[in-house]
Chains A and B, each alone.
Chain A
């Protein structure tokens, strides 16, 4: 039966399916290609940190050095650095560590902060992110620290407000300040005193991240940042929480056997199962614990020299036992402590780096 729609003449058979020019699909050299065609690498404001992908080792070094410098500085002198500057914290999701440490960081530099959270503001009445951002700008905010359940929301906020934006966690995407404070914690352990990093600083270091990788912005920021400094990131978890294609990221590997992964680790990072993002995924928690829970026995058998990190909140008795969390290898509270210094550096940069002349 001939296909009826083929009544129009067809030269199909004579045509080669080979492209006339090999790169035609790439659609090169568009004079007006959309300004955001390149993911993550550019921001409107130089002080914005939306993703670790735009951070070079040089920038990371600047942040680490600044964090150290600010931490050491006399608190009264430090408070003159950003005296009476205005910073807004815009939080669409709950947070303890990140919110408090950003707030303490900004206040430690002398800035005034204001917290807008989705449950006690006009966001509840249906105000859009764009309008909330413009409102904060009109109120005098000079930078916005954003936590939001939608991946990519910081780009929208930055584009619409043209203010420096610090990404304090966007959906399942990234949490750059967490990766930086994790890095600082790792360096304190592995390379004490180091604040200058390069492409080989973490050469030979294996970081094992275990748990709900799929939904974790902390895992993403770490796996995108650490390989830039030479580390090998080994991901561990069951397929529903760790799809194979995670290994497409350069420097990232998958080892699903937890003891075998631990045996390679200098750094063990455990993650919480993000019940709020499972989206209908059914998980047998007992089975999960049997395979992936970090216990004292596992740590002693396979990674006695490693340090333990966890971005929090920890769920004792699920991804790790209480003994491990409180044990000698744990650096969980040191991470929290490092958060303030790193965030002081990020906030300081956000308000002091000169604006870009013209966006590339």
Chain B
């Protein structure tokens, strides 16, 4: 029986519509009570945490991370990746299936969640949509779900064949799983290493055209529209599950204006399409490739200034459902190579909140509660993570406590991640995490915190 009382903090719980000074009592891994300051009388053995001057919010949720286990522990392990998550204020992460071997099976899905992995925060595996991410044979979604998978995707190996994508959507919907697509028509991106355009031409690099992204988003939306029209229970291969739910398509890391526009339009048409944006796509442009900086190489690539603006616009107008980092650790020797040969991806767990507050909140005046919502309530709803992303009584005791005004310099060498491939090294962040609490346990405590 453990209990923890968070006192004198300012609670922001967007899903519950709370933005006020509150005390919170956590008990046995759950939120026990919320009350006005000073109203809760703790039992004698209750640990007390003073959050004076700090914001208390639902623990952040990153629905797009690469934890590299099993198979690539030299880049990251579930222990180090989730330690980085905790330091960044995250209490849950959804782990992509491009592990070695691929997360195709209930065994690997369970292995990733086992206590032996030493995770600091909750790990929600995402299963591979098709065997070995080859886009051919569907995995057993019911078994994956029973083992704890929260969605299916082929992530970096987008499903190009219409027939397979349709089957994936139908089967996932029957099992109550979302389908996440890394939208890239790889037939247009062979040998490419940055955004297509005048800069790529000047740098002598082959470019990934924006069409490679948005044409696949549009294709997926078209398939979704067809399937969403099908009536369930008619004997026809309807996509609705037994409760009548329609298929859910989630577009990972949108980076082009046209992809966001396609999602916006699909939503107006009543389709269940969601999307996420990574901090680097709303903050950095292709210019950051600079003199072939491999920490500015990721997929999708950094795009034009107009695309960057479209990401901000999508966040502000609500089309974007979540900020997700696409945390993709790589060892330094892998990034210290020729730009075209370097692997894609950057780390992101420890800079997401700081960048979001510094830029979305301070510069673009997005209310603090909306920033928190994009990093907790909305991603939780998106992947149907029950009892997460909110701090109502009975929810999981997943909490982040941070100083929303504090500025600090992000130093990649201090990262809890095993890798430090980030373009944000040395950037000023806003919002210092003091405590991260996962299911009632303090899993991160800033050096400066008591």
Contacts and interface: CB of A to CB of B under 8 A. Distances in A.
Contact of A17 (B248, B317, B389): B317
Contact of B197 (A16, A148, A245, A249): A245
A130 interface: yes
Nearest to B340: A150
A193 interface: no
Interface stretch (B122-130, B133-141, B362-370): B362-370
B337 A10 contact: no
Q: Is the interface of A mostly helix, strand, loop or mixed?
A: loop
A1 B240 CA distance: 13
A330 B319 CA distance: 61
Residue among B273, B317, B369 with most chain A CB within 10 A: B317
Nearest to B321: A5
A217 interface: yes
Given A19-B364, A245-B198, A280-B190, A160 B336 contact: yes
Interface in A1-39: 1, 3-13, 15-17, 19-21, 24-25, 27, 30-34, 36-39
A152 interface: yes
Interface in B342-397: 359, 363-367, 369-370, 373, 377-378, 381-382, 389
A17 B272 contact: no
A174 B17 CA distance: 57
Given A17-B316, A156-B338, A279-B190, A151 B204 contact: yes
B409 interface: yes
Interface string B215-248: 0000000000000100000000000000000101
Contacts of A75: none
B17 A152 contact: no
Interface stretch (A95-103, A165-173, A225-233): A165-173
A224 B199 CA distance: 13
Nearest to A21: B363
B329 to A, nearest CB: 18
Contacts of A12: 316-318
B336 A30 contact: no
Interface in B246-300: 246, 248, 267, 270-274, 283-285, 287-293, 295-296
A27 B201 contact: no
Interface stretch (B28-36, B42-50, B149-157, B304-312): B304-312
A156, A170, A172: residue with the most chain B Cβ atoms closer than 10 Å: A156
Contacts of A42: 291
A246 interface: yes
A9 B15 contact: yes
Given A15-B317, A31-B428, A129-B338, A24 B364 contact: yes
Interface string A236-249: 00000001011011
Contacts of A27: 283-284, 359
B interface, size bucket = 35 or more
A356 to B, nearest CB: 15
A48 B359 CA distance: 37
B41 interface: no
B363 A19 contact: yes
The 3 closest A-B pairs by CB, nearest first: A32-B426, A12-B318, A173-B204
Given A36-B292, A148-B338, 19 more contacts: A1-B270, A3-B272, A4-B381, A5-B381, A6-B321, A7-B377, A7-B378, A11-B370, A15-B318, A25-B309, A27-B283, A34-B423, A34-B425, A39-B289, A152-B339, A155-B292, A156-B336, A171-B340, A214-B201
Interface of B: 14-15, 17, 190-191, 197-198, 201-206, 228, 246, 248, 267, 270-274, 283-285, 287-293, 295-296, 305, 308-309, 312-313, 316-318, 321-322, 333, 336-341, 359, 363-367, 369-370, 373, 377-378, 381-382, 389, 409, 423, 425-428
6 contacts: A9-B377, A10-B318, A16-B316, A25-B308, A30-B427, A245-B201
